[in-house]
């Protein structure tokens, strides 16, 4: 009930204590438990950020996320260097790449690291820095410095929200800066987002999509949303052979 109240907009300790008729110390203890489980993030002054853990996010629209990941995996050619952003769909993409041979995968995402760590056929490069909770992204100046030394064939970015004319919505300023550096690091750039993330802005930080990119998304509900993104080079619909707003992609490979 407390978690639902926080997600509905109640954020202050005093406000929550009054709502539930308990002491502020009780609310603090319960919030600490929720934060320890990755359900909420405590911020200065007792306010709360309802950013969810990767496990919670991965359970939502799981079939769509997996379809998008499979579609993205078909774009990757043998021998390429691939940069994967942190995120649930990029983690699923790593899973679909794990059995490939001769790929180099560079990532700042713990999900992707878990999926690829046991596969000798993948040359896995982990960008080092500070681990951010709850989304398990590795961030910091050290990540930005390392990105200046690589030029991947393809970069795949995750999204908490995607708004035409604004870009990718991010839970922290630091993460928005790292995503922007990743966007410009690769020869080809892709954004992976399911239909529930299109047109959504759950956080106040942004990565401008100021270069050509392609959106890979699922078919459900996308007809309303994809038009603004088609101008950026195309929308790939997961599970469909066609590309909207751009040339059809080629070189599909099994996974």
Let me know if residue 195 belongs to a domain: yes
Same domain, 97 and 12: no
Same domain, 101 and 197: yes
CA dihedral 241→228→193→246, nearest 10 degrees, is 30
The predicted model gives 85-105 an average pLDDT of 96
What is the average pLDDT score of the chain?
A: 83
The enclosing H or E element of 156 equals strand 154-157
Give per-residue pLDDT as tens, 168-197.
Answer: 999 889 999 999 999 999 999 999 999 888
- Put residue 102 in one of left, alpha, beta given phi > 0 → left and psi -120 to 50 → alpha: left
CATH code, domain carrying 208: 3.40.50.10470
CATH code, domain carrying 8: 1.10.10
pLDDT over 70 at 146, yes or no = yes
Same domain, 94 and 212: yes
Let me know if residue 99 belongs to a domain: yes
pLDDT band at 27 (very low <50, low <70, confident <90, very high): confident
Let me know if residue 252 belongs to a domain: no
Tell me the whole-structure pTM to 2 decimals.
0.76
Same domain, 65 and 46: no
Let me know if residue 164 belongs to a domain: yes
**Higher per-residue confidence, 54 vs 108:** 108
Let me know if residue 139 belongs to a domain: yes
Let me know if residue 229 belongs to a domain: yes
Same domain, 34 and 65: no
Give per-residue pLDDT as tens, 217-228.
Answer: 986 655 555 666
Q: Which domain holds residue 111?
A: 59-244
Domain count, the chain: 2
Same domain, 108 and 230: yes
Same domain, 169 and 120: yes
Same domain, 119 and 9: no
Same domain, 183 and 159: yes
Let me know if residue 34 belongs to a domain: yes
Q: At residue 58, what are phi and psi to the nearest 5 degrees?
A: -70, -25
Same domain, 90 and 204: yes
Same domain, 30 and 92: no
Same domain, 22 and 140: no
Going by C-alpha positions, the residue among 244, 224, 248, 226 that lies closest to residue 234 is: 244
pLDDT band at 254 (very low <50, low <70, confident <90, very high): very low
Q: Which residues, in sequence order, are CB contacts of 127 under 8 Å at separation 6+?
A: 106, 107, 108, 138, 142, 143, 146, 147
Let me know if residue 254 belongs to a domain: no
Residue 35's pLDDT is: 67
The predicted model gives 213-240 an average pLDDT of 71
């Amino acid at each position: 009930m407390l978690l639902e109240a926080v997600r509905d907009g109640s954020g202050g300790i005093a406000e929550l204590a009054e709502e539930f008729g308990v002491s502020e110390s009780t609310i603090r203890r319960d919030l600490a438990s929720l934060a320890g489980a990755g359900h909420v993030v405590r911020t200065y002054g007792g306010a709360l950020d309802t950013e969810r853990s990767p496990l919670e996010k991965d359970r939502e629209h799981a079939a769509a996320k997996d379809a998008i990941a499979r579609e993205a995996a078909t774009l990757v050619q043998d021998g390429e260097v691939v940069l994967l952003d942190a995120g649930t769909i990029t983690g699923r993409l790593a899973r679909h790449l794990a059995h490939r041979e001769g790929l180099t995968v560079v990532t700042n995402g713990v999900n992707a690291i878990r999926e690829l760590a046991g596969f000798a056929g993948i040359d896995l490069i982990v960008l080092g820095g500070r681990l951010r909770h709850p989304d398990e992204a590795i961030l910091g100046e050290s990540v930005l410095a390392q990105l200046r030394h690589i030029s991947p064939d393809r970069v795949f970015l995750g999204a908490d929200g995607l708004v035409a004319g604004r870009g990718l919505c991010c839970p922290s300023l630091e993460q928005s800066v790292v995503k922007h550096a990743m966007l410009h690091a690769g020869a080809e750039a892709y954004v992976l987002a399911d239909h529930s993330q299109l047109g959504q802005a759950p956080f106040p930080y942004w990565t401008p999509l100021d270069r050509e990119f392609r959106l890979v998304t699922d078919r459900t509900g996308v007809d309303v949303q994809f038009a603004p993104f088609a101008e950026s080079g195309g929308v790939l619909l997961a599970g469909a052979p066609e590309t909207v707003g751009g040339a059809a992609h080629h070189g599909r490979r099994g996974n």
